[in-house]
Amino acid sequence: MREWLAAGERGLFIRSYVVLAGGLLVVAMLLDLGFGALQARQERAADPWLVSTLRLMESDLAAMPAEARAERAAALGRRLGLELDLLATGDIASATPLGSAPRELVDDDGKLYYLWNAPALGATIRLGPFEPVREGWSSRLLPLLFYASILLIVGLWLRPLLNDLRIMTEASQRFASDYREPLDTARRTTQLRSLARNLDDMSARVSQLIQSQKEMTAALSHEMRTPLARVRFAVAVLEGEVDERHHLQLRAVSEDVRQIDELISDMLDYARLDHPGLRMDCQDVSLEPWLRQVLAACPPHDREVTTVRRDDLQSLWMEPRLMELALSNLLANALRYARRKVSVEVARENGMNRLVVEDDGEGIPEAQRASVFVAFTRLDTSRNRETGGFGLGLAIVARIAALHRGRVVAGSSATLGGARLTLEWPVP
């Protein structure tokens, strides 16, 4: 039971149990009170044996002279082991007159008396006292057993439902982390088997679709590089055999081939980052050689790139290969749009590692700062159209940040005036 409730369904079980059981208990108590009130307002049918006895007594006393009736009533009472009195009508204080049925009276000691209107005697017969009916322990325990049975029935009804939900929730979480393993919950559920079967079928189709799409992307990317290499070789051969006018056209073709090759590389990187089999080998990386390696791998440029390490930071906890890819994409983005200056800042603040890349370009419009990290997103400003780009670089950065349990945000640089891209992830 503890293991069953230790998953994420404890709160759901408690809320469902309280709502259902509490609702049923309230309804049962209200019905109990309602029936009790109705029974109290209804006149109880007189006991036919009691009525017959009182009528016989009335007939017996009516046959006696008026002066002998009191003595006769006392004799009948002694014979019955009860008190039998004749009361004058004026001796009875009652808001309502006596009817044709015996009326019950209870004295201060809880003893029960019956009053019988005897017109033949011109008086009222009082018979009693009778010991009140005492409720036994079983009658007192019965309501408790009824309410406890409601709680037990609700719990037994909820448990298999919550167990099925736990099975499907855990399986869905595993499928979200690894789409290669479709759900297999129908055979393990009992109450929600139809829903589990539909989820299993849906996950199988989604898994097949995703794997087919990724396999096709990887295959196309690899297959395209072979003809691109032949085109690049042919262009290099032709450049040595044509005049200057055709050289310009061949350079344009070579530039197009280079861009297509970069797009293929970005697509492969992006697909690789989304693969569930990706291993995160995080480690404490020395900053100085790592930054020097990333900056050396940047394409040729004429911008001024400065690096700043806050508080003389010496190392960062990260996956060096992936974080190198992220910083390379941030630098490529900044170098593409910067006019003259690019700044790289490394810091650690409030338990977060930060890589901040700024440029002095036009910046990113505030309304589009969130969308730049979506794959294949191209801004509607000259920032993208004049300088190119495929919209995958920042999407790769966002994915790497998520793999480090962090995030990347776009803002405005207060020092350079252009874009400010901040990649941050928690310190372990």
Q: Residue 64 pLDDT more than 90? A: no
Question: Using 50, 70 and 90 to split pLDDT, how confident is the model at 386?
Answer: very low
In a domain, 303, yes or no: yes
**First CA to last CA across the chain, in angstroms?**
34
Q: Residue 423 pLDDT more than 90? A: yes
d(CA 228, CA 237): 14
In a domain, 278, yes or no: no
pLDDT: is 396 or 135 the higher one?
A: 396
> What integer is the mean pLDDT of 174-179?
78
Q: Identify the weakest region by mean pLDDT among 15-29, 34-48, 93-107, 251-265.
A: 34-48
In a domain, 182, yes or no: no
In a domain, 389, yes or no: yes
Give me the helix-helix angle, 10-41 and 137-177, nearest 10°: 150
Do residues 318 and 409 both lie within one domain?
Answer: yes
CATH number at residue 349: 3.30.565.10
In a domain, 229, yes or no: yes
> What integer is the mean pLDDT of 235-258?
75
Do residues 148 and 24 both lie within one domain?
Answer: yes
In a domain, 188, yes or no: no
Q: pTM for the whole thing?
A: 0.54
Residue 384: its pLDDT value, please?
Answer: 43
**Strongest mean pLDDT among 229-243, 387-401, 403-417:** 403-417
Question: Using 50, 70 and 90 to split pLDDT, how confident is the model at 425?
Answer: very high
pLDDT > 70 in the chain, percent: 84
Q: Residue 387 pLDDT more than 60? A: no
Name the nearest CA neighbour of 427 among 322, 317, 327, 280. Answer: 317
Structure tokens at 350: 């409030």
d(CA 341, CA 301): 11
Do residues 293 and 376 both lie within one domain?
Answer: yes
CB 211 within 8 A of CB 180: yes
Residue 340: its pLDDT value, please?
Answer: 92
Do residues 206 and 290 both lie within one domain?
Answer: no
Question: Using 50, 70 and 90 to split pLDDT, how confident is the model at 421?
Answer: very high
pLDDT tens-digit map of 117-168: 888 888 888 887 877 666 666 666 777 777 777 777 777 777 888 788 888 8
Owning domain of residue 33? 2-41+136-177
Do residues 197 and 289 both lie within one domain?
Answer: no
Residue 95: its pLDDT value, please?
Answer: 47
Q: Residue 90 pLDDT more than 70? A: no
Number of domains the chain contains:
4
96, 113, 130: which is the final residue of a domain? Answer: 130
Residue 382: its pLDDT value, please?
Answer: 41
> What integer is the mean pLDDT of 8-27?
70
